[in-house]
Amino acid sequence: MVKTTAQVDPCQVKPVTGRAGAIALDKQHDRSTNYKKYELIKEIANRFDLDKTEVKQLFGISESTQFRYEKQNSVLKSAIADRLDRFNRIAKLALELFKDETETKRWLSTAKTALSGETPLQALATDAGAKKVEAMLYRAEYGIFG
């Protein structure tokens, strides 16, 4: 006899309070990251004036896959969803620091000596680059330059 597990609709899950509630929220958050759609990438591309080549470099999505995703508004693969989360985290830090979206866009798209001449957007293509950009933002926040 084979046991099967029933699929649970996240919209029908009742809230749980206390420690169990925190665990339930963490699981729900993990599940929700699996359902990110390509539309989120398009919104970022429009907001930060990214062309298809920059989207390819930043999120690791080939132009042909971008075309397919645009037609179907596909669910993102987990690696792409992770890159999206990384981008959003860094963009949020930059926006909190600069308090202005125009200045944030300018900073993210200007080459930096500390990144060997790359822009922060280019550096965000890798986890190591994102850590460097994050460190730059924290140093700037606390007035540590150089």
Query: What does the pLDDT look like over 34-79, one tens digit per residue?
Result: 579 999 999 999 999 999 999 999 999 999 999 999 999 889 999 9
Token representation of residue 12 = 């029908």
Number of domains present in the structure of the chain: 1
Assigned domain for 120 exists? yes
Assigned domain for 8 exists? no
Assigned domain for 61 exists? yes
Assigned domain for 89 exists? yes
Residue type, 92: K
Assigned domain for 60 exists? yes
- For residue 7, pLDDT beyond 60: no
Binned at pLDDT 50, 70 and 90, residue 143 comes out as confident
Length of the chain equals: 146
- Give per-residue pLDDT as tens, 75-94: 999 999 999 999 999 999 99
Assigned domain for 30 exists? no
Owning domain of residue 47 = 35-141
Assigned domain for 99 exists? yes
